[in-house]
Amino acid sequence: MNAPEPERDDLYVDHVYDMIVVSNRLPVDYEEGPGGETRWKGSPGGLVTALEPVMRAADGAWIGWTGVADREFDPFEHDGISIIPVPLSAQELEEYYEGFSNDTLWPLYHDVIAPPRFHREWWEAYVRVNRRFAEAAARAASDGAVVWVQDYQLQLVPRMLREARPDLVIGFFNHIPFPAYGIYSQLPWRRQVIDGLLGADVIGFQRAADAGNFSRAVRRLFGYSTRGTIIDVPDSDGETRRVVARHFPISIDAAGFEELARRPEVQERAREIRESLGNPETIMLGVDRLDYTKGIRHRVKAFGELLRDGRLSVEDVTLVQVASPSRERVETYRQLRDEIELQVGRLNGDYSTLGHQAIAYLHHGYPREEMVALYLAADVMLVTALRDGMNLVAKEYVACRFDDDGVLLLSEFTGASDELRQAVLVNPHDIEGLKDAIVEAVRMPRRERARRMRALRRRVLENDVAKWSATFLETLTGTGIIAPGVSDPLQTAIARLASSERLLVALDFDGTLAPLVDRPEDARASQRARAAIERLAASDDTRVAIVSGRALDSLGQVASPPAGTLLSGSHGVELQLEPGAATIDLRDSELVKLERLSEIVEEVASGTDGAWIERKPAGLALHTRRLPSKTGTALQHSARDRVAAELLGITVRTGKAVLEFAVRSSDKGESLTRLRQHVGATAVIYVGDDVTDEDAFAALDDDDVGVKVGQGKSIATHRVRSTDDVAELLERLADARDAAREAASRWP
């Protein structure tokens, strides 16, 4: 993509995170009091509620804009979540946000209900700002971290991020519809946007139809093959990357809404609302951001005609319309407000009486409690959007109606209508049909209302927003978010291993037994892990092996393992099966190659502060852990290229911020197989955190147990979160092994 370089390079963060959410707006608002005092206030939207537990459990950070233009803020913590602000200038706000996002993409993606405007400067700002968000994420993400990008304002971020950080697991979720190709193809930058999205591993949409539209656009514009939800994307190195594009319908914190609705003071407020409207027989309610996609005009028109025709009367029915202020600096929205207010004013003028108002029109935002009281007060909820990604208001109404009463009238053009089939479904463009549906809703007998509401409630309560995020993240990482400690399935596997005749416990060192540190010589296993290893190694039926990429020398120094521990160094090139008996004799040709290899890599790394080279008996490792990730990746690329250009038969492997070269090939999988044979093991457990540990997982048998430490792609069947959890796992294994031995000894 031909994108200009970012203007700023000072979005510095000094901490990295395993899980990152990137969205245009942060989940906090900046507030300035009358005395000039300032504070951050949480804005408790559905997304925050859904992701809060995930973020807390996974050491997560949220990247986004603060809502204040032309101001820079340092990263900070709010309510246990790390917040990393990305600045926007007033001009960028105008061009990237109000312009390209809300005046180009929004109308285009909502089936051109309003005409989209295409401006090249807006696009340029969009690219620039997307790059800034991507760079902030690239800096803040740990090795192999999960980054989840939200919504149409940031569609270029996945590709930009993948280019800077190929190690990351990248997800994207589109909260709004994705249009049919005939409409999408109007976008002058249609290829760039799709290419941007295809940088993700998983692209989520609200409806299956949106995912289908996207896959069709990919086929039409790029000719990539798609099978069901899988898209095969060719990468620059000629390999194919699998991208998943499918629907994950978003939801709400249903239990939270119900809990609010059950509060006595909220119910009291609902009664007050009814009273203040003159206790009409039927209250109809609309709650929308004041947006042309929401079909507010169609709704008001239908209601006006019903009053005109005498099918409804203001004595019996009142419509409450909350239209919360939105995007008021965009011209189309200003016009829309004028039109709706003229329409509402006319209608009230024509039909209201001194005692009964036809429409109570409220151009305000309200606290959530008040919204819930309104939902409780409403007999009929009108959701008449012309196009809507999901529409959460419909789900909120349902969640609040624990009394199994109330009728939801729902447009077929909302994502919600795919799930909420027991609503009264309408086509809002068909004004006659809409009028009939409104009358049907107003007259619906109590039993019918209850029957429908019960079915709707089951659906919403079972599919809440926590389930939405869990399903997405599971698809993305293959695991979801890892809970701390030892999971139940892992505990079951431990119990099974405990009774095996001869057990091999094979453990990676750095990142598994010892937390990763800047200087490799400082790495140490925790006291707990060491004690557990000693207990395991104390009996004859169990052997412990440490399998590392480090050279044996260095491994022996930092691990100081108990006597009898088997050691495998340099990814299996060195193996120590007896104390002091490790050897590796390089052939002359290998020695020559090794020398040249050192010269080349030294030359490449010499100009870069913070890069260092670790020598190994049959190769070397170029460490880039102390460099910014982008510089590190670039340095690794040039080292790889230089070596490939000059030497043949060199094995290269990428680890966490390290690139390893070896003149003799071996991997942890081969090493594990030799260890198993040596020990005569009947069962093996292997624990590791790095990509190089994947070879060992691949060498396991069906009855063995593989445990991956941390996030990132893995073929291991189990996961733990951190080195602390590895220590706990080893303790439990030692306990289980002791218990099994004791139980066996009681039998003659």
Q: Can residue 289 be called a binding residue for ligand GDG (CB under 6 A)?
A: yes
Exactly one of 130, 332, 357, 391 binds ligand GDG (CB under 6 A); that residue is 391
Indicate the residue among 366 and 612 with the shorter CB distance to ligand GDG: 366
Min dist CB 263 to ligand GDG, Å, is 15
Tokens of 44: 């408790």
Q: Give the whole-angstrom CA distance, residue 413 versus residue 387.
A: 5
Q: Closest CB to ligand GDG among 157 and 594?
A: 157
Sole window of 212-220, 382-390, 522-530, 537-545 interacting with ligand GDG (rule: CB under 6 A): 382-390
- In this structure, the chain runs to a length of 748
Considering the complex, what minimum distance in angstroms separates the CB of residue 196 from ligand GDG?
A: 20
> In the window 396-425, what residues touch ligand GDG (CB under 6 A)?
396
What is the smallest separation between the CB atom of 294 and ligand GDG, expressed in angstroms? 8
Query: 621, exposed or middle or buried, with CB in 10 Å at 0-12, 13-18, 19+?
Result: buried
Q: How far is the CB of 362 from ligand GDG (least distance, A)?
A: 8
Tokens standing for residue 268: 């009291």
Measure the CA–CA gap between 26 and 65, rounded to whole angstroms: 6
Q: Is 299 in the site for ligand GDG (CB under 6 A)?
A: no
- Of 360 and 494, the one with the shorter C-beta distance to ligand GDG is 360
Give every CB contact of residue 430 below 8 A, 6+ residues apart in sequence.
none
How near is the Cβ of 313 to ligand GDG at its closest, in Å? 29
Residues 255-274 contacting ligand GDG, CB under 6 A: none
- The structure tokens 């200003």 sit at 334
Query: Tokens 């009996």 correspond to what residue?
Result: 539
Q: Least distance in Å: CB of 712 to ligand GDG? A: 28
Q: With contact defined as beta carbons under 8 Å apart, do 169 and 200 qualify?
A: no
Which is nearer to ligand GDG, 323 or 533 (by Cβ)? Answer: 323
Q: How far is the CB of 349 from ligand GDG (least distance, A)?
A: 26
CB of 384: closest distance to ligand GDG in angstroms?
12
For the segment 167-186, give every residue that binds ligand GDG (CB under 6 A): 175-176
* Residue 30 β-bridge partners: 40
Q: Which tokens belong to 471?
A: 């399903």
Site for ligand GDG in 341-380 (CB under 6 A): 365-368, 371
Q: What pairing do the DSSP bridges indicate for beta strands 612-616 and 619-623?
A: antiparallel
HEC profile for 475-511? HHHCCCCCCCCCCHHHHHHHHHHHCCCCEEEEECCEC
Part of the chain binding ligand GDG (CB under 6 A), chosen from 17-25, 112-120, 383-391, 666-674:
383-391
Annotate each residue in 28-47 with x if it binds ligand GDG (CB under 6 A) or - if it does not, as one string.
Answer: ------------------x-
How many residues bind ligand GDG (CB under 6 A)? The answer is 20
For 328, which DSSP code? T
Among 202, 287, 360, 601, binds ligand GDG (CB under 6 A): 287
3-class DSSP string for 554-610: HHHHHHCCCCCCEEEEHHHCEEECCCCCCCCCCCHHHHHHHHHHHHHHHHHHCCCCC
Measured between alpha carbons, how far is 270 from 314 in angstroms, rounded to an integer? Answer: 20
Angle at 396 between CA 395 and CA 400, to 5 degrees: 120
From candidates 114, 146, 233, 250, binder to ligand GDG by CB under 6 A: 250
Q: Provide, rounded to whole angstroms, the least separation between the CB of residue 247 and ligand GDG.
A: 12
Residue among 210 and 660 whose Cβ is closer to ligand GDG:
210
- Footprint on this chain of ligand GDG (rule: CB under 6 A): 46, 175-176, 250, 287, 289, 322, 324, 365-368, 371, 388-393, 396
